[in-house]
């Protein structure tokens, strides 16, 4: 069984809502092994899992991640949807940046598949 990577975070500059979403994507300081129930946290988790999860099933392209987002997302115009996703991607990036590069399993797998090494 593969172990999820430890995530080292600095929460000082985050709002309470952002802290909550990141915490829902984690379990005891590590990336969760499964998707959280909250739609926004599920999006953050999915984008982070694509890059850092050691589980091969998490390395497929997260093209359907939007479908976990709450109903409010679907009523927005195109530019507002982009801003909404960008905010959540920033949170996923915080998680990704909190994991050592050697544990970016999904990124390494795709790099090998694309012939980077």
Q: Does 34 map to a domain? A: yes
**Interior/surface letters 68-81, b for 16+ CB within 10 angstroms, e for the rest:** bbeeebeeeeeeee
Task: Give the model's pLDDT for residue 108.
Answer: 92
pTM for the structure as a whole: 0.92
Counting the structural domains of the chain, the total is 1
For the chain, what's the residue count?
117
Q: Does 6 map to a domain? A: no
Taking residues 68-83, report their average pLDDT.
Answer: 97
Q: Does 11 map to a domain? A: no
C-alpha–C-alpha distance, residues 64 and 58, integer Å: 12
Tens digit of pLDDT for each residue in 15-64? Answer: 999 999 999 999 999 999 999 999 999 999 999 999 999 999 999 999 99
Q: Does 9 map to a domain? A: no
Q: Does 29 map to a domain? A: yes
Tens digit of pLDDT for each residue in 8-28? Answer: 988 888 999 999 999 999 999
Domain that holds residue 98: 16-113
């Amino acid at each position: 069984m593969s172990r999820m990577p430890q995530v080292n975070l600095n929460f000082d500059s985050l709002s309470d809502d952002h802290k909550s979403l990141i915490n829902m994507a984690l379990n005891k300081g590590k990336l969760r092994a499964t998707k959280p129930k909250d739609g926004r946290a599920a999006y953050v988790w999915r984008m982070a899992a694509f890059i850092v999860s050691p589980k091969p099933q998490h390395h497929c392209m997260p093209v359907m991640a939007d479908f976990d987002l709450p109903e409010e997302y679907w009523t927005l115009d195109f530019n507002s949807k982009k801003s909404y996703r960008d905010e959540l991607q920033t949170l996923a990036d915080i998680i990704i940046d909190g994991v050592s590069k050697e544990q970016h399993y999904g990124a390494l797998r795709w790099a090998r598949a694309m012939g980077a090494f």
